[in-house]
Chains A and B, each alone.
Chain A
Amino acid sequence: GENVEQHPSTLSVQEGDSAVIKCTYSDSASNYFPWYKQELGKRPQLIIDIRSNVGEKKDQRIAVTLNKTAKHFSLHITETQPEDSAVYFCAALPRAAGNKLTFGGGTRVLVKP
């Protein structure tokens, strides 16, 4: 089955700086890669996603890049703000997995004012 590795597990940045989170996946059949933000005790919220036919996608301060050959995808947050502090999860969805998402281990992001 699919295996998703996520790094780093914790990330502390100064407000205004950029944050980068990296994930790798193992199943070349994966074709959908969402990123979720989860605040303590709450449900994961989709913040951006990318499909395998696209190399990069941007939405305001958030961008995601995908390298299919290397099976890497990354989340970039620019101009970080304190409200960006949360746990972020990457995930991968293999085409034939019956919609079973596999999550990375998560990155706890702390943005210091």
Chain B
Amino acid sequence: GAVVSQHPSRVICKSGTSVKIECRSLDFQATTMFWYRQFPKQSLMLMATSNEGSKATYEQGVEKDKFLINHASLTLSTLTVTSAHPEDSSFYICSAYGTGDEAFFGQGTRLTVV
């Protein structure tokens, strides 16, 4: 199947700083990627849809100025958590589709804001 690679897998940052997470499709092109957030013992919640060459579309309640998404190429989407606070600590996961309906997920990024 298709491979989606996400980096970093873990990051600890200080409150008020920004963190960038990368999501790459390794063996296919993805015009659309998806970013999810998962709090402990909870489900995956879609944050935004990343669209290559255009603005991301955000789900209701997700602050677009806080979670900046850039999809500059067909294989790379980045999520930047700006001015991070402890409540932003979570597991962030990206996904993309190959040629069918199956979604392929990145490894996830465990963000801890201290």
Q: Mark A90-107 against chain B: 1 for CB-CB distance below 8 A, else 0.
A: 000100001111111110
Taking a contact as CB atoms under 8 Å apart, the answer to whether B49 and A43 are in contact is no
With a 10 A CB-CB cut-off, give which of A34, A41, A51, A105 has the most chain B CB atoms. A41
Chain B residue contacts of A99, Cβ below 8 A: 32, 34, 97, 101, 103
Docked Cα-Cα span, A99 to B46, in Å, equals 12
Taking a contact as CB atoms under 8 Å apart, the answer to whether B43 and A101 are in contact is no
Instruction: Report the count of interface residues on A (CB-CB < 8 A).
Output: 21
Taking a contact as CB atoms under 8 Å apart, the answer to whether B105 and A49 are in contact is no
Label chain B's interface by main secondary structure. strand
Known contacts A49-B102, A99-B32; A41/B44 CB under 8 A: no
Report the minimum CB–CB distance from A92 to chain B (whole Å): 11
Docked Cα-Cα span, A6 to B28, in Å, equals 32
Taking a contact as CB atoms under 8 Å apart, the answer to whether B108 and A89 are in contact is no
The 8 Å CB contact of A89, one of B34, B43, B91, B97, is B43
Nearest residue in A to B107 (C-beta to C-beta)? A43
> Interface residues, chain A, CB within 8 Å of chain B?
32, 34, 41-44, 46, 49, 51, 89, 93, 98-106, 108
> Interface residues, chain B, CB within 8 Å of chain A?
32, 34, 41-46, 49, 91, 93, 95, 97, 101-103, 105-108, 110
The 8 closest A-B pairs by CB, nearest first: A43-B105, A32-B101, A103-B43, A103-B44, A106-B43, A105-B43, A43-B108, A43-B107
5 A–B contacts from the bound complex (CB under 8 Å): A41-B91, A41-B110, A43-B105, A98-B32, A108-B41
Apart from A44-B105, A89-B43, A104-B43: 6 A-B pairs, beta carbons within 8 A: A34-B103, A42-B107, A43-B106, A46-B103, A101-B34, A106-B42
